[in-house]
Structure 1
Amino acid sequence: MAEIKTKPTAISPAEFIEAVENPARREDAKTVCAMMERISGEPPRMWGPSIIGFGSYRYKYDSGHEGMMCRLGFSPRKAQLVLYVLTGAAGEDERLAKLGKHKTGKSCLYINKLADVDLAVLEQMVRDALAYMDEKYPA
């Protein structure tokens, strides 16, 4: 079986953020990092080479595959900020409709810049994602 690449590393999240080339994306990453740390009560930690995560949980699929992943996370990618906060929980579609300019993937929220979105709505989505994780994967 292939080794899982998305696991905790010793890379400094602060140094990783400081190395983000785009100054606006770097500042947005600092804002998201501070928000997720405040909401989760967990310090940021690098997961793999590019995800900044908060907290952790163990998962196990019906196939037997199991591992560990961050409860909340984001990545300041070159093209966009990627937030790993979508759960499909009740109310999520309504919040997405109020969020502002964004795209979505299966569990990913893609934002070009924080100025494009309502930060209060984004913060509620982060809170909702953490509550979902706490319910589905109790500590």
Structure 2
Amino acid sequence: MAQKNKTVETEISVSDFIDSFVSSESKKADAYQLIELMKQWSGFEAKMWGPSIIGFGTHHYKYESGHEGDMPLIAFSPRKAAFSLYIYTNPEESKSLLAELGKYKMGKACIYVNKLADIDLEVLEKLCKAAIEYLKNYPNSVC
């Protein structure tokens, strides 16, 4: 039996999620700013994916194993410790952009940012747009 993805698009209200999940007013402000920026960069409305990821657009993927599913083109989660930015692009292209991003930590599948003031938003825009192009041009390439 095929395994179902845990993180799927839901009908949960993005603003209800932020208002109930994010306690810091500055983090709420950053979350709403990220929503506006990612909406502008992607051309898609913000949607909840699973219980805590805010995503933009949809990308269908299929692994060689046959496992397939959907994921947002770009996404973030306003976690307690830091924002998790889900931006997957060509590793070579992202390497040079990440060098210019500012203060962040790299996770296995995401970029951790404490607050938006720590990073260069123009570089984040380039990363997001590169991720969208990468996923549109390489439909089976996900991490």
- Matching of residue 23 in structure 1 with residue 22 in structure 2: no
The aligned counterpart of 2:57 is: 55
**Deviations along 1:60-103, whole A, 9 cap, x unmatched?**
11111111111111100111001101323433111111111101
Do 2:55 and 2:75's aligned partners in 1 also have CA atoms closer than 8 Å?
Answer: yes
Counterpart Cα distance in 1 of 2:30 and 2:139 = 29
Deviations 1:110-134 (A, max 9, x none): 1001111111111111111111111
Alignment CA distance shift 1:86-1:103 (3 Å): farther
Residue 74 of structure 2 contacts residue 88 of structure 2 at CA under 8 Å; is this kept in 1?
A: no
Which amino acid is the alignment partner of residue 71 of structure 1? L
- TM (normalized to structure 2)? 0.89
Compute the displacement of 1:109 (Å).
Answer: 0.8
CA contact (8 A) 1:89 1:132 kept: no
Runs of 4+ off more than 4 Å: none
- Is the CA contact 1:13–1:52 (under 8 Å) kept in the aligned structure 2? yes
The answer to whether the 8 A contact 1:81-1:111 is kept is: yes
Matched to 1:53, the amino acid is: G
Partner Cα separation in structure 1 for residue 11 and residue 136 of structure 2 = 25
What does residue 113 of structure 1 align with? 115
Tell me how large the CA RMSD over aligned residues is: 1.6
Q: Does structure 2 retain, via aligned residues, the 8 Å contact 1:37–1:44?
A: yes
Structure 1 unaligned residues grouped into runs of 5+: none
Q: Is the 8 A contact 2:104 2:114 kept in 1?
A: yes
Count matched residues: 138
Q: State the TM-score, normalizing by the size of structure 1.
A: 0.91
- Residue pair 1:75, 1:82 contacting (<8 A) in 2 also: yes
Unaligned runs of 5+ in 2: none
Identity of aligned residues (%): 46
Contact 1:10/1:46 (<8 A) preserved: yes
Q: C-alpha displacement at 1:2, in angstroms? A: 4.3
**SS at structure 1 position matched to 2:109:** coil
